[in-house]
Amino acid sequence: MKRTILAVLAALLLLVAPSSLAANPGELVIAVEALGDHLDPHRAPGNSAHALMALFDGITRLDKDGNLAPSLASSWEAISDTTWIFNLQQGVKFHNGEEFNADVVIANLERMSDPNEPRASYSFDVFAGWRKTGDYQFEISTVAPDPLLPARMKNFFIAPPSMLGNPKSDDFNRHPIGTGPFKFVEWIADDRVVLAANEDYYLGAPQFDRLVFRAIPEASSRVSELLTGGVDIVTGLQPEFIGLVDSNAGTRVVTRVSPINEVITLRTDVEGPLQDVRVRQAMNYAVDFDTIISTLLSGYAHRYATVVHPFVLGFNPEVEPYPYDPEKAKSLLAEAGYADGFSIDFDITPSVGGTNNIEVAQAVVAYLGQVGINVNLRVHEYGVMRTLVYGDRSGGPMIRWQWKTWDNDPDGIFYGMFHSKGTGTFNNDPVTDEMIIAARFNLDQEDRARIYGELQERVKEQATHIFMYYTDSIYGLSDRVTWEPRIDERLYFYQATLND
């Protein structure tokens, strides 16, 4: 008996002794909360986008600051209000040696628009048609003038003809082939995606050999791995950990503002006090977001007036955030006939709203309580919440939600959360609708910027939301890595370098 125990102990010690925690030279390891469910670039996106961006190229792309840049299309132009010509890169080869050309693009567009699969993109409604106009040129026509068409093409990842049979998603899961800077090596579901440098990348090979995405769901396990050198980059760091990561030898923190707009939707499509604009304005005056930001968010968030970041097209610096003014809130409520306040339901899920969102919601509830609004906070599981918002829309009059600004352009957020046909809209203001449409089908960027400038005044005054803030995305980095985060929070490592 005793001998057995000793033997077991000895074996354990052997295992424990010199475990190799140090990083492998030439290998960059990124820890994310979850990997995606598949590697088919044309299917409904999960969290796969990061690996897909390394494996595939889009027709266009956004640079790290969110500006549109050439990718598989080297140039493009609108030859009429509704027709665009794209000129393609020549000499691009897929990882398996297949040639890239206009036929390949057309074949990809056909597969991507198949309504029999949950799709990665729903932009196809604006397309009137597409056709090949040369070996390295194709044309897309739209149903109306679409200023965002070239930006939409960034989501169109191009796969080689040999993989386009439908349905053959599983081929992608086993061995995806693209033109991107990294080639597929291995995918172990919920564990890791391993990629290798594509030495023949048409823009030149990446500086390092292997790129590994690891799924580590528990936040403190991710940070622990960074601190001990098990991984090189962690995402979604909480502000509380900045000091720890910065003071640890060999790691540091980088931040970048997030393009996600944090709001509380105030529904006017259901009977109740929120149908009075004065009540909605009062609620905007009632909450002290500056204090919330400096305490609960450790200062890593920024107050702004509506949902247009300073770096987004049409940002209007003259529209200022609602100041914290509880007296004004009370008098507006009194004017509206709610001097004694009212009670209201507030729906929220922990998964939407970024850092400490439940705590922030509790603070908002407390502030609204101080002006007499008795808010009943209801916390939901994510899927249930999504059904409340996008499905049967049976949520309460107050909904905590967020929406990302894509392409540094406010069309998506304005249409999605303010236009009466938007998937995330719970209000109906014909004036707002009209302005959004005027900017949407308009190829004159200056005119669009002007309209969005006015739109910010309009939506602030309408106060169909409690406008909150946008946060900073915080990343922990090993000192061996040189890398800059992208504004759209996608993880892209072609330009990253390792100094081993």
Rounded to a whole number of angstroms, the minimum distance from the CB of residue 404 to another protein is 4
Q: How far is the CB of 407 from another protein (least distance, A)?
A: 11
Q: Which is nearer to another protein, 131 or 421 (CB)?
A: 421
Using the minimum distance from each CB to another protein, give the nearer residue, 281 or 402.
402
| Min CB(252)–another protein separation in Å | 16
Cβ 85 to another protein, closest distance in Å? 26
Nearer to another protein, 75 or 221 (CB): 221
**How many whole angstroms separate alpha carbon 192 and alpha carbon 215?**
6
CB 51 within 8 A of CB 62: no
Minimum distance between the CB of residue 257 and another protein, rounded to whole angstroms? 16
- Distance between CA atoms of 40 and 174, rounded to whole angstroms? 10
User: Judged by CB, which is closer to another protein: 63, or 359?
Assistant: 359
Q: How far is the CB of 385 from another protein (least distance, A)?
A: 10
Which one, 282 or 308, has the nearer CB to another protein? 308
Q: Which is nearer to another protein, 1 or 91 (CB)?
A: 1
Three-class DSSP labels, the chain: CHHHHHHHHHHHHHHHCCCCCCCCCCEEEEEECCCCCCCCCCECCCCCHHHHHHHCCECEEECCCCCEEECCEEEEEEEECCEEEEEECCCCECCCCCECCHHHHHHHHHHHCCCCCCECCCHHHHEEEEEEEECCEEEEEECCCCCCHHHHHHHCECCCHHHCCCCCHHHHHHCCCCCCCEEEEEEECCCEEEEEECCCCCCCCCCCCEEEEEECCCHHHHHHHHHCCCCCEECCCCHHHHHHHHHCCCEEEEEEECCEEEEEEECCCCCCHHHCHHHHHHHHHHCCHHHHHHHCCCCCEEECCCCCCCCCCCCCCCCCCCCCCHHHHHHHHHHCCCCCCEEEEEEECCCCCCCCHHHHHHHHHHHHHHCCEEEEEEECCHHHHHHHHHHCCCCCCEEEEEEECCCCCCHHHHHHHCCCCCCCCCCCCHHHHHHHHHHHCCCCHHHHHHHHHHHHHHHHHHCCEEEEEEEEEEEEEECCEECCCCCCCCCCCCCCEECC
CB closer to another protein, 273 vs 416: 416
Q: Which is nearer to another protein, 279 or 429 (CB)?
A: 429
Rounded least distance, CB 193 to another protein, Å: 12
Q: Which is nearer to another protein, 89 or 146 (CB)?
A: 146
In the complex, least distance from residue 290 CB atom to another protein, rounded to whole angstroms: 13
Cβ of residue 379: shortest distance to another protein, in angstroms? 5
Q: Residue 426 Cβ, how far from another protein at the closest point, in Å?
A: 13
Residue with smaller CB distance to another protein, 247 or 271: 247
